[in-house]
Amino acid sequence: MARNDGYFPPGSLLRHVQQHRAVGQTYGQRALIIGATHPVPYVGTSSSTNAKERPFMRLSATAEAFESVFFGDRTEADKTLAMVHNMHTKVRGTLAQDEGIHTAGTPYDAFDPELMLWTMGVLADSSRVCFEALVRPLTPSEREELWQDWIRFGELFGMPRSVAPPTAREFHAWLYGHLDGPAFHVTEEARVVGRAIAYDMPVPLGMRAGVSGTNHVVVGLLPQRVREAFGMSWSPVHEAAFRGIAAGVRASHKVVPDRLRLGRNTELFRIVSSTERKIIAAGGRSMVLPGAA
């Protein structure tokens, strides 16, 4: 491979999955909401950055950075990786209070291998789930190939390969073991942030109807325990609407040109970031957190 080829060149399954805009526009929201069910990395990130003041600007910047690694050449990807590494050096500390089974004083560090696996894992699972719901099912061998690509993605950010479950099947058991287990816990702040991510993405008025449909799909793709923990209502009517939207997206791939359905989502990410910036500049807030004045 030439030095300036990307880490995920054409033909890699991760690139194939993520280049579908339907995946790129949904997997991040789902991953962030599920990620917030582990209070240690959630509190660590919230306490160490300005994420809570401008959550959608951070979300958009992170999504754009990930696409630089998915699709960019080595020069672009390495620049992003170095920037993220520098930001992660600031994310460390301890829990100030008990959060579920995690006691006050529990340390958090962005470079903790288990926490790096968690962060990468919720992305990997959401990538697969969104692709299978909105594009097509993957074969068992494709699921395995995709998981191996995501391990590589984690390694690029400093995650040791040894911490990752070696197979896609073992990874699935590990992740859903957490989601069904006693370590699952959503803080009061995380509940507010998760609901905002699911329902209140800031976009111009003309885009809100389309984003509302995307949001419904994201909520529909969450495990039931996660929806319940965030207080997200879900009825048979919601489920029917979700299935209808997902089926429509899958069918659209037969008629929508590749130039529209494949590629980066940079424009959308920047619209979201710009809209939140305007809200803040006007003295408003994109969400109101517990305890805020």
In a domain, 62, yes or no: yes
Domain residues for the domain of 25 are 13-279
pTM of the predicted protein model: 0.93
In a domain, 196, yes or no: yes
For residue 53, the model assigns a pLDDT of 67
As for how many domains the chain has, the answer is 1
For residue 59, the model assigns a pLDDT of 86
For residue 120, the model assigns a pLDDT of 97
In three-state form (DSSP H/G/I as H, E/B as E, the rest C), the secondary structure along the chain is: CCCCCCCCCCCCHHHHHHCEHHHHCCHHHHHHHHHCCCHHHHHHHHHHCCCCCCHHHHHHHHHHHHHHHHHCCHHHHHHHHHHHHHHHCCCEEECCCCECCECCCCEEECCCHHHHHHHHHHHHHHHHHHHHHHCCCCCHHHHHHHHHHHHHHHHHCCCCHHHCCCCHHHHHHHHHHHHCCCCCCCCHHHHHHHHHHHHCCCCCHHHHHHHHHHHHHHHHCCCHHHHHHCCCCCCHHHHHHHHHHHHHHHHHCCCCCHHHHECCCHHHHHHHHHHHHHHHHCCCCCCCCCCCC
Positions in the chain short of pLDDT 50: 1-2, 293
For residue 35, the model assigns a pLDDT of 96
In a domain, 288, yes or no: no
In a domain, 40, yes or no: yes
For residue 75, the model assigns a pLDDT of 95
In a domain, 284, yes or no: no
Q: What is the pLDDT of residues 88-115, one digit of tens each?
A: 898 889 999 999 999 999 999 999 999 9
In a domain, 80, yes or no: yes
In a domain, 286, yes or no: no
In a domain, 145, yes or no: yes
